[in-house]
């Protein structure tokens, strides 16, 4: 089952990379990004998309362990509550 999940993840990532590649070839016109008063140099849309996708992948990879830690605390408290509820009482 784990190999199927890895295959599915690889297919999804490959399709995203292919989509970015096709989009960057179709839109080779340079653009500049503006945020408040800051403006970037003019670069092709494909490079902007590649940087955004890379930053997103790295950001999720860095935040994923933090989400796991937060979820494990909730899971542990829930398990403790269930063990108290299902405890056999012997008289």
Q: State pLDDT tens for residues 57-68.
A: 888 888 887 877
In this model, does residue 56 exceed pLDDT 70?
Answer: yes
Give the per-residue pLDDT at 76.
55
For residue 8, the 8-state DSSP code is H
The CA–CA distances, whole Å, from 51 to 7, 38, 47, 55 equal 24, 18, 6, 6
Give the per-residue pLDDT at 86.
57
The pLDDT-based confidence of 72 (bands split at 50, 70, 90) is low
C-alpha to C-alpha distance for 13 and 20, rounded to whole angstroms? 11
Domain boundaries along the sequence of the chain = 2-85
C-alpha to C-alpha distance for 73 and 20, rounded to whole angstroms? 38
pLDDT above 90 coverage of the chain, percent: 0
């Amino acid at each position: 089952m784990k190999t199927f999940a890895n295959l599915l993840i690889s297919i999804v990532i490959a399709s995203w990379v292919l989509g970015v590649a096709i989009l960057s070839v179709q839109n080779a016109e340079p653009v500049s990004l503006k945020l408040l008063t800051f403006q970037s140099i003019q670069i092709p849309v494909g490079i902007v998309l590649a940087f955004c996708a890379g930053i997103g992948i790295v950001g999720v990879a860095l935040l994923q362990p933090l989400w796991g830690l937060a979820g494990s605390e909730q899971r542990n408290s829930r398990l403790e509550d269930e063990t108290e509820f299902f405890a056999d009482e012997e008289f």
